[in-house]
Amino acid sequence: MVSGDKVQRAARFLHEGHQARASYEPIPDEMSPRDIGEAYDIQEAFHELLIPDRGPIVGYKVALTTTVMQEMGGFWSPRIRGGIR
């Protein structure tokens, strides 16, 4: 299991980029999830950081369903989901 500190650091990295409207950058290796479970932990922490400005999640979306998008994101399956605000 990923450490809580690592999850929070990765979530803050994503949140800061999102707030700055910065171009996508991969999470640095020291914060990068080792498996899909860790990735979802980071995603959940990122969503928590969004709540004050954007409100709670109201739905979910599945993305990265094409091989090209999976390869771009470094994923091996289309089972990627995310919250919708």
**Whole-number Cα distances in Å, 14 to 29, 66, 67:** 13, 23, 24
User: In this model, does residue 80 exceed pLDDT 50?
Assistant: yes
pLDDT band at 70 (very low <50, low <70, confident <90, very high): confident
Buried b (16+ CB within 10 A) or exposed e, 59-68: eeeeebeeee
Per-chain mean pLDDT for the chain: 85
Residue 5 CB contacts under 8 Å (≥ 6 apart), including other chains = none
Contact between 31 and 13 (Cβ < 8 Å): yes
Q: Is the pLDDT of residue 61 over 80?
A: no
Structure confidence by residue, pLDDT tens digits, 2-34: 478 999 999 999 999 999 999 988 899 999 999
pLDDT band at 62 (very low <50, low <70, confident <90, very high): low
